[in-house]
Structure 1
Amino acid sequence: MIREWSTTAARTVRAARGAPAPQTYGLIALCCLIFLLGPASGFTHSYGTGDALLAAQRAYFRHWGVIPAGLFAEPVREALTPVTALFVHGSWVHLLGNMLFLFVFGVLTEERMGRVEFALFYVGCGYLALLGYALANADSEQSLVGASGAISAVLGAFLHLFPRARVTSLLPFLFFLPLRFPAWVVLPFWAGLQWYAAGRAPEGPGVAYLAHVIGFCLGFGYAWLRYGRQRREKDGPGEARVGPAPAPASKGENQP
């Protein structure tokens, strides 16, 4: 059994290396693996059940996630938590929503940026997005986990690099009909929804919409400064398909 698992893992690594966007696929695989091994997946029985499982989940999120109040109280000790939080997700919906958006928009963005630059861009913008949210909520004791800030940065960069790419969206108010719009329509609309939701978000557990807004602005700003007028968009860079359009995950980073 161990030999079969090692053989499968080796084949997966070789396939990722030969893929056009190995960093994107690697990030998806890593996030999924970490989730499956954590207490939120329900697959690891060593965390217990019932109240014991809930306590394990809270401790897990507090250990690996960002706690704004703790980050600024002990900045040296907590300095890496905005990085570790990018790979931790609070539920299956949270994970799958984020990974879907990363897959759809990450492949083309990585191909345009290159492997190393994309990896640094992803982690750097994700770190700053979570840090920005923590600064705006410096007294919060809530754990902040999830890759939505980094993925929002990918969406922002995608908007600048491929504004005419057709994005297939499922819009709830149009009875989830699959409609195709250019990225310059869909992504600013999505960002506007995040900004609106950030202003109305209640205190306590929920979606960290502000981290989405910060990440999106960072990603777009980086792509604009880095590539500017030198953007070379191929005719028909492929159709990005995703749904629903309003957010990269139904449940965002801010977890209990």
Structure 2
Amino acid sequence: MVPLRDDNPVSITPVVTYGLIGLNIAVFVFQLGLSREGLDGFFDAWALVPNQLTDSFQGALQAPASEWITLVSSQFLHGGFFHVGGNLLYLWVFGNNIEDRLGHVKFLIFYLGCGALAGLTQWVFDPSSTVPTIGASGAIAGVMGAYILRFPRAHIVTLIPLIIFFTTVRIPAIFFLGFWFVQQALFSIASLSTETNLGAGGVAYWAHSGGFVFGLILGPLLGLMRSRPGSARR
């Protein structure tokens, strides 16, 4: 399933959205050049590791402030081509409209804030995990939460594979994104009964659910529901 938005034109160039996509790609290319040992060390330094964040709260680490940095830096790390590709596709589809409504600076604050709060949500439910939490999914989930609130009647042209060919259907955003959130929430609850709250396949479902909810909250606080002067209207 590949979403392709077909409405809600933007009136400004979404430079922050493009910049975030470019930065994620640049970091991923850098990761590809690392050895296995180098990549493990890179993740250990810049990924969000819940038990290290817990230790920083308890004063067990010499430089606890650095662990807070991982709430942001982990958003630019990815575990593979499909991971980074899927995340950046959703950012490209939904990010430009939210940036158009919030403006460049507020959108950057919103994006990084949702990502950090998503990481904290994952930490709350599994503070002793030693598994690094990486990826832009939490921040992008926040963008999706803001999108469903601001553009519930927008249509998402969705590419669906049918055995040997593809077809497209137009799905209202409120159903497309609503179904996505319910799915993530159910997986989050199910993960409580597993050994690790990262769930099946190492997916941080709590971060996804948390990012979506915080997107619903932070968006209006930053002026999402107000029309910007000169903004394109449907």
TM superposition score normalised by structure 1: 0.74
Correspondence for 1:109 among 98, 114, 117: 98
Partner-residue secondary structure (3-state), 1:138: coil
- Give the percent of matched residue pairs that are identical in Structure 1 and Structure 2: 36
Aligned to 1:248: none
Correspondence for 1:82 among 50, 71, 77: 71
| Structure 1 pair 145–228 and aligned structure 2 pair: CA distance change class (3 A) | closer
Shift of 1:149: 0.4
**1:181 lines up with 2:167 in the alignment:** no
Shift of 1:137: 0.6
- Counterpart amino acid of residue 64 in structure 1: W
Aligned to 2:148: 159
1:96-135 → structure 2 map (5 Å cutoff): 96-135=85-124
Kept in 1, the 8 Å contact 2:114–2:215? The answer is: yes
**1:71 lines up with 2:60 in the alignment:** no
Correspondence for 2:29 among 31, 36, 50: 36
Correspondence for 2:36 among 37, 54, 65: 54
Kept in 1, the 8 Å contact 2:160–2:167? The answer is: yes
Residue by residue, what CA displacement relative to the aligned partner does 1:205-232 show, whole Å, maximum 9, x if unpaired? 6100110000000001222444486468
| Structure 1 pair 198–171 and aligned structure 2 pair: CA distance change class (3 A) | farther
- Counterpart amino acid of residue 175 in structure 2: V
Matched residues in 2 for 1:228 and 1:141: separation? 36
Correspondence for 1:21 among 14, 18, 39: 14
TM superposition score normalised by structure 2: 0.81
| Structure 1 pair 132–76 and aligned structure 2 pair: CA distance change class (3 A) | same
Kept in 2, the 8 Å contact 1:66–1:145? The answer is: yes
- Counterpart amino acid of residue 71 in structure 1: L
Tell me how large the CA RMSD over aligned residues is. Answer: 2.5
Partner-residue secondary structure (3-state), 2:66: coil
Shift of 1:76: 2.4
Kept in 1, the 8 Å contact 2:74–2:134? The answer is: yes
Kept in 1, the 8 Å contact 2:110–2:219? The answer is: no
Matched residues in 2 for 1:164 and 1:108: separation? 14
Matched residues in 1 for 2:148 and 2:208: separation? 15
- Counterpart amino acid of residue 216 in structure 1: F
Matched residues in 2 for 1:172 and 1:200: separation? 28
- Counterpart amino acid of residue 202 in structure 2: G
Matched residues in 2 for 1:92 and 1:229: separation? 35
1:134-213 → structure 2 map (5 Å cutoff): 134-170=123-159, 177-201=167-191, 202=194, 203=196, 206-213=202-209
**1:94 lines up with 2:83 in the alignment:** yes
Matched residues in 2 for 1:230 and 1:25: separation? 23
Residue ranges of structure 2 left out of the alignment (5+ in a row): 1-11, 57-63
**1:219 lines up with 2:215 in the alignment:** yes
Matched residues in 2 for 1:198 and 1:79: separation? 24
Residue ranges of structure 1 left out of the alignment (5+ in a row): 1-18, 48-52, 237-256
Name which structure has the greater RCO, CA cutoff 8 Å, separation 6+: 2
| Structure 1 pair 189–173 and aligned structure 2 pair: CA distance change class (3 A) | farther
**Bigger mean CA deviation after superposition, 187-196 or 202-211:** 202-211
Shift of 1:170: 3.6
Q: How many correspondences in the alignment?
A: 208
Shift of 1:235: 5.2
Kept in 1, the 8 Å contact 2:116–2:139? The answer is: yes
